[in-house]
Amino acid sequence: MSLADKVLAVNNDLPIRTDRPVHSGKVRSVYWLTEADSHRLIKERGYPVADDAPLAIMVISDRISAFDCIWRGEGGMNGVPGKGAALNAVSNHWFKLFRDQGLADSHILDIPHPFVWIVQKARPVMIEAICRQYITGSMWRAYAKGERECCGIPLPDGLEKDQQLPELLITPSTKGILTGIPGVPEVDDVNITRKDIENNYAAFNFRSPDDIDLYEKLLKEGFNLISRSLSRLDQIFVDTKFEFGYVTDQNGQEKLIYMDEVGTPDSSRIWDGPSYRKGRVVENSKEAFRQLLLNHFPDPDVLLNKQRMDERLALAKNNVLPERVLMEISNIYLDIAEKITGQKLHLSANPKAEIIQVLRDDYGLID
């Protein structure tokens, strides 16, 4: 079996019983279960949700996206071996820690397979909740051009690239294209201020103004918990993106939870501590892949300039990356996941066949 066969690149074609279209994102695909299957699983498995809660199967893939494009490798290797299993393992680890420490629950109810979550339907808060402990990436690029404010937060003069910030900053952006919010452009992923959120909390899907404080509290507590855990591994938690949503519990109460993924190499920057102390940044996250792409192509502006999106999409479509590049990224994902979880990751020889078998035999979701 070739390396390409071990990569789960297509995850929206599983024969899971559903009466709605499969939603396929950059990395995950979501299969909404029928009312009958949702009700049956809640009863059989004792999930702590309302009897009529809609459930979904969420299947991760090994696809890799960067700069809003999906990238492919030579030899039909259309993903990074082990990436999906690594992301889910890291998220599972942090979600459990958050719950055990009394922070908040997540949308995950069950983990039938390393690539699969059973989740309950959540009403998402329309904010990419970003926390930053160091100045790097897009924030540094704006600062280097003379900007001294980020999301309404003033920044001092004299900061240097990759320096630790004086305090942990919350720099939110929009999730999706939001319309009719004064002062907020109708484009995806645009920076917003806390004042924007306060003045339009319902438009961002917050239940009440008080929940803005709660989301910031959960964001900071989650960030600090992961940061402390990583520092014990001599790794630096640089910045991250969290997502939040509302679910209804078995008592009919709506509550704010963590959703999507947390503290993963995809949603965060993680730096190697010993290298940083020697003045060198070594990325243990997807940022390593982004830097590799910027160095790989002769005109990196195509990847950084949103005005050149058509060229960028063509670049990703018409170029396959060397196998060694994807294997280098695979090693980064697997290494940091095993460090965080303290466990060796088992990589399936045929993840799709395994998923079908467990969802058919153990969960009765495939005919």
> In this predicted structure, what is the pLDDT of residue 349?
86
pTM assigned to the model: 0.94
Domain count of the fold of the chain: 1
> In this predicted structure, what is the pLDDT of residue 59?
98
In a domain, 308, yes or no: no
Burial class (CB in 10 A: 0-12, 13-18, 19+), 205: middle
Three-class DSSP category at 55: strand
d(CA 146, CA 255): 41
Q: For residue 260, how far is the Cα from the chain centroid? A: 6
Hey, CA dihedral for 171, 173, 175, 180, is it positive or negative? positive
Mean pLDDT per 10-residue section of the chain, whose length is 367 residues: 79 96 94 98 95 96 95 93 96 97 97 97 95 95 94 95 96 93 90 95 96 97 98 98 94 93 96 97 95 94 93 96 94 97 91 96 96
In a domain, 329, yes or no: no
> In this predicted structure, what is the pLDDT of residue 306?
86
* Pair type for strands 127-134 and 173-174: antiparallel
CB 109, CB 247: distance < 8 Å = no
* Pair type for strands 69-73 and 320-321: parallel
With b for 16 or more beta-carbon neighbours within 10 A and e for fewer, the 148-159 pattern comes to eebbeeebeeeb
> In this predicted structure, what is the pLDDT of residue 237?
98
> In this predicted structure, what is the pLDDT of residue 188?
87
In a domain, 246, yes or no: no
In a domain, 37, yes or no: yes
In a domain, 332, yes or no: no
In a domain, 306, yes or no: no
In a domain, 148, yes or no: no
The CATH code of the domain that includes 43 is 3.30.200.20
Hey, CA dihedral for 291, 293, 296, 302, is it positive or negative? negative
> In this predicted structure, what is the pLDDT of residue 151?
94
Domain region containing 21? 3-122+346-361
> In this predicted structure, what is the pLDDT of residue 85?
96
In a domain, 132, yes or no: no
